[in-house]
């Protein structure tokens, strides 16, 4: 089975061997010698470094395939994620579609930088006068999506395929008092992902290599119609999945307009570079303000037969 794992380009330096990291620094030094204000500070964001950028990606595929999986698992084990707590078991986050995989990385990059951008924006006049530069309008992100081949995909557990299926697995791990009324598939996003981490821990105890689950970035109906799913592979079953980089990859360059004020979301322009080049635009849901949050983080409370909570 072919699956896809995406990484924001700047993170690739941690997957390189020592010689590769030295070359990376040389590219940045080369960029800084170019006196052109129109160029991006990071060398990989500039079109005149396209060939060098792809050489870095190719070196990771050719020389660091085993390190790619080992370091990915170690990082996720320490930092945690949607389906594993911090400092716990390692998992490999991927998807059965390259676009879904890239969207996950793009959203988390936005989540990380949006508060920083907002803080600077609130003091834009001081920022502009003190540093003699204007606040960038767009957040630019470069993402690389690697194609991976895995074995024994028939042993993947399917989670959250329907309301009834999710209720059944939640009841198995002791969430009965939370699944009485107003229960649906969005329960998995509840309590700031605390629930999904319990589910991930449960699957880790089963004789499965991992599981599939809908993405939190796209409507369930669209994912169901197109059979789009995230895949979470367990570190403990790496020998069974035997993941290998196929050598193929897709590059995504995304630009998020951070100045949008309408409630529909932020404009995102994406260029995809694979065997061909594609361009598209879509809306990204903004982080809700604390004073008027929309139900992005859902809180669930226990329900008891006598009506008390």
**How many Cα atoms within 13 Å fall on the side-chain side of residue 230?**
22
Provide the edge-to-edge strand list for the sheet that holds 138-149: 156-158, 210-213, 230-234, 91-95, 2-8, 138-149, 244-257, 266-273, 277-284
User: How confident is the model at residue 299, as a pLDDT?
Assistant: 44
Q: Is the pTM of this model over 0.85?
A: yes
CA distances from 9 to 140, 156, 197, 200 (A): 11, 29, 27, 27
pLDDT, tens digit, 9 for 90 and up, residues 106-153: 999 999 998 888 888 888 888 777 777 778 899 999 999 999 999 999
Q: Tokens 């620094």 map to which residue? A: 25
For range 282-291, the mean pLDDT: 71
Tokens of 135: 């606040």
- 3 state SS of 86: coil
**Predicted confidence (pLDDT) at residue 274 exceeds the cutoff of 90:** no
Let me know: does 183 contact 167? Beta carbons within 8 Å.
yes
User: How confident is the model at residue 304, as a pLDDT?
Assistant: 47
For range 222-239, the mean pLDDT: 95
Q: What are phi and psi of 295, to 5 degrees?
A: -75, 60
Q: Tokens 């996950």 map to which residue? A: 104
């Amino acid at each position: 089975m072919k699956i896809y794992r995406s990484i924001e380009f700047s993170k690739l330096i941690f997957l390189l061997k020592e010689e590769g990291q030295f070359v990376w620094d040389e590219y940045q030094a080369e960029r800084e010698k170019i006196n052109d204000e129109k160029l991006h500070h990071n060398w990989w964001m500039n079109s005149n470094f396209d060939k060098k950028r792809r050489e870095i990606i190719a070196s990771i595929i050719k020389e660091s395939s085993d390190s790619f999986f080992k370091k990915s698992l170690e990082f996720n084990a320490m930092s945690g994620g949607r389906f594993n707590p911090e400092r716990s078991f390692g998992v490999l986050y991927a998807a059965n579609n390259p676009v879904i995989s890239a969207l996950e990385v793009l959203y988390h990059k936005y989540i990380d930088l949006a508060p920083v951008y907002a803080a600077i924006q609130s003091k834009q006049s001081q920022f502009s006068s003190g540093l003699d530069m204007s606040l960038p309008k767009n957040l630019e992100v470069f993402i690389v999506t690697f194609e991976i081949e895995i074995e024994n995909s028939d042993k993947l557990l399917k989670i959250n395929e329907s309301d009834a299926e999710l209720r059944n697995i939640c009841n198995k791990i002791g969430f009965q008092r939370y699944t009485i009324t107003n229960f649906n598939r969005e329960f998995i996003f509840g309590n700031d992902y605390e629930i999904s981490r319990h589910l991930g821990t449960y699957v880790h105890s089963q004789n499965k290599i991992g599981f599939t689950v809908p993405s939190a970035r796209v409507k369930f109906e669209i994912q169901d119609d197109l059979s789009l799913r995230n895949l979470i592979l367990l570190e403990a079953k790496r020998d069974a999945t035997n993941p290998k980089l196929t050598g193929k990859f897709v590059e995504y360059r995304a630009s998020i307009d951070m100045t949008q004020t309408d409630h529909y979301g932020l404009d995102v322009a994406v260029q995809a570079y694979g065997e061909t080049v594609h361009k598209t635009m879509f809306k990204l849901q903004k982080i809700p303000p604390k004073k008027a949050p929309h139900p992005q983080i859902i809180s669930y409370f226990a329900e008891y037969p006598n009506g008390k909570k």
